[in-house]
Amino acid sequence: MTNFTGEVRIVGAGLLGTSIGLALTKQGIDVAIASKSPKSVDIAISYGAGRAVREDDSPKLIVVCVPPQLTAQIVAEELIAFPDAIVTDVASVKAGILEELERLAAPTDRYVGSHPMAGRERGGAIAGRADLFVGRPWVITPNSKSSPAGIKVVAELAQALEASVITVSPKDHDRAVALVSHVPQLVSSLLAARLVDANQADVNLAGQGLRDTTRIAASDPELWVQILEANSAEVKRVLESLELDLGNVIDALANVDSEAGIAQLRKALRDGNAGVEKIPGKHGTKHSTYAQIIVMIDDQPGELARLLTEVGEIGINLEELKLEHSPSAQIGLVELYVVPSAESALIADLQERGWRIA
């Protein structure tokens, strides 16, 4: 939490705008929400994400949360309409928006681009969540004219939402997110697209692997076309490397009777192990730092709450929690993550209390 104060205006009452509004309102901050769609404003307000705009609004900070293609135009309009406000946006691409603002001769000293690396595969006010940004990176991309005061306010916004601030240039941002966000979206979509013509009976065999690798394939195509268009050169570069890797794996599969073929396959899988180890987990630590304990719970009301209460009674801090639900088995799998030194004590205590550990 920070000492963020002052009035905030949010433009765009979709997933991002509503989530930011919910988190700020919860902290007692005055949030006014504007959007093209009055219906989404109504939903956002009834969720508790803020209030309707007023004639005498005088925001300290404006957060533009509209689709990427509209972002520069709306940022420019807001800079003019509110000459004392700092304006930021949350669009998933940054360099092109700044270029457009410069073309429009907008007062970019009061503009500080940003991009929370948090989202969902569902858009709209209805998908908003107050905790969306907790523990996530929030990238701030100041331009050469951004005022230090503006950069500070945007950093305070991110901190108030419990995100961790990373500051980079708009160009470096676009290069990085091509690798860590835009290509992952395409790979997930392309993989899921393989299922379209598959037999339903084959798809019914899917385990957790397919679900893990295709969650974001459900994302909004209209939003992603705009993101990919705005970052096409960087995304193409990463995809070309991936194409080479795919070619090598295809060659290896054609040569599994040779040692070289097997070595090539092994290398691809080991490189994957090395890559996944580089992804930071909670508090910037590696996810493999935590021990995982899987508890099987009956699929009935109150079971999860009872388990968490008992973990609390045992006195061990949970670092992360995931829930897997098996539709056919009337059972839920709860993944508890704890520091390794607490693993055996927690397993023993839970078993003593009658919990089944997988």
Ligand X SMILES: O=C(O)C(=O)C[C@]1(C(=O)O)C=C[C@@H](O)C=C1
Stretch that binds ligand X, among 31-39, 118-126, 187-195, 252-260 (CB under 6 A): 118-126
Q: Is 32 in the site for ligand NAD (CB under 6 A)?
A: no
Count how many Cα atoms sit within 13 Å of the Cα of residue 16 in the half-sphere of its side chain.
24
Among residue numbers 166 through 205, which ones bind ligand NAD (CB under 6 A)?
none
**Chain-centroid distance, C-alpha 58:** 30
Site string (182-221) toward ligand X, x via CB under 6 A: ----------------------------------x-----
Among residue numbers 103 through 132, which ones bind ligand NAD (CB under 6 A)?
116, 119-120, 123-124
Contact with ligand X (CB under 6 A) among 120, 175, 282, 287: 120
Name the binder of 90 from ligand NAD, ligand X, none, CB < 5-8 A by kind.
Answer: ligand NAD
Name the binder of 216 from ligand X, ligand NAD, none, CB < 5-8 A by kind.
Answer: ligand X
Residue 112 bridge partners (DSSP): 142
Q: 11, 50 in Cβ contact below 8 A?
A: no
| Least distance from ligand X to the Cβ atom of residue 324, Å | 17
DSSP readout, 264-304?
HHHHHHHHHHHHHHTSB-GGGSBGGGSEEEEEEEESSTTHH
Among residue numbers 46 through 105, which ones bind ligand X (CB under 6 A)?
92
Q: Is 175 in the site for ligand X (CB under 6 A)?
A: no
Nearer to ligand X, 313 or 324 (CB): 324
Nearer to ligand NAD, 61 or 74 (CB): 74
Contact with ligand NAD (CB under 6 A) among 6, 27, 30, 37: 37
Name the binder of 67 from ligand X, ligand NAD, none, CB < 5-8 A by kind.
Answer: ligand NAD
Name the binder of 334 from ligand NAD, ligand X, none, CB < 5-8 A by kind.
Answer: none
3-state helix vs strand vs coil in the chain, percent to 5: 50, 15, 30
Backbone angles phi, psi at 58, to 5 degrees: -140, 75
Contact with ligand NAD (CB under 6 A) among 68, 113, 142, 332: 68
Q: How many residues does the chain have?
A: 358
Both tokens of residue 266? 């092994």
**DSSP helix/strand/coil, 197:** coil
**Chain-centroid distance, C-alpha 252:** 34
Q: Is 90 in the site for ligand NAD (CB under 6 A)?
A: yes
Residue that the structure tokens 């070289």 belong to: 260
Backbone φ/ψ region at 10: left (φ over 0), alpha (ψ -120 to 50), beta: beta
Q: 288, 277 in Cβ contact below 8 A?
A: yes
Among residue numbers 242 through 301, which ones bind ligand X (CB under 6 A)?
none
Q: 50, 44 in Cβ contact below 8 A?
A: yes
Both tokens of residue 320? 């992360």
Q: Is 118 in the site for ligand X (CB under 6 A)?
A: yes
Instruction: Give the binding-site size for ligand X (rule: CB under 6 A).
Output: 8
Residues of the shown chain interacting with ligand NAD in the complex, contacts defined by CB under 6 A: 11-17, 35-37, 40, 65-68, 70-71, 74, 90-92, 116, 119-120, 123-124, 223, 227
